[in-house]
Amino acid sequence: MHKKYFIGTSILIAVFVVIFDQVTKYIIATTMKIGDSFEVIPHFLNITSHRNNGAAWGILSGKMTFFFIITIIISIALVYFFIKDAQYNLFMQVAISLLFAGALGNFIDRILTGEVVDFIDTNIFGYDFPIFNIADSSLTIGVILIIIALLKDTSNKKEKEVK
């Protein structure tokens, strides 16, 4: 019989991502002034100390109460989705763990300092991408994995209908 939930794996992923996120943010916040930057890979990757009191790309700047409420609602929804819809699906459980860890990582910043520490500064094909952090990366990867899982699930259902 297959495992229904991979709780240990899911918790390990979430804890690792949150710790890695918080440690990297602490290093940036304690060793660099806001605006300081250094080049890691020429014309592609810089480490730049930045603060964001909004969401992605600074939208909804200064709306901390809104972010607290939304993060709590999303976290509850993720736990519900994990229990209800991700049974027997390690791929989906990993995706949900990444989403949860990303949301928690930025939530911790908002609670402690009222802003999120961002530092990964990329220039991709000439586009200066907004500065982000490990939690943001975790959220993005989690969303991509969920989209892949849903597309795969939809594809499998169509194949079964044809048979």
**Average pLDDT score over residue span 80-102:** 87
- Domain ranges within the chain, ordered by starting residue: 7-155
The residue among 22, 18, 2, 20 whose CA lies nearest residue 10 is: 18
Residue 160, pLDDT score = 60
The position carrying tokens 């002034």 is 33
Catalytic center residues: 118, 136
The residue among 73, 102, 95, 84 whose CA lies nearest residue 147 is: 95
- Mean pLDDT, the chain, as a whole number? 88
pLDDT-derived band at 145 (thresholds 50, 70, 90) equals very high
- The count of other CB atoms within 10 Å of the CB of residue 151 is 10
Residue 27, pLDDT score = 98
pLDDT-derived band at 65 (thresholds 50, 70, 90) equals confident
pLDDT-derived band at 54 (thresholds 50, 70, 90) equals confident
Q: pTM of the entire structure?
A: 0.83
Higher-scoring residue by pLDDT: 69, 143: 143
Give me the phi and psi of 29, to 5 degrees please: -65, -30
Residue-wise pLDDT tens digits, 19-32: 999 999 999 999 99
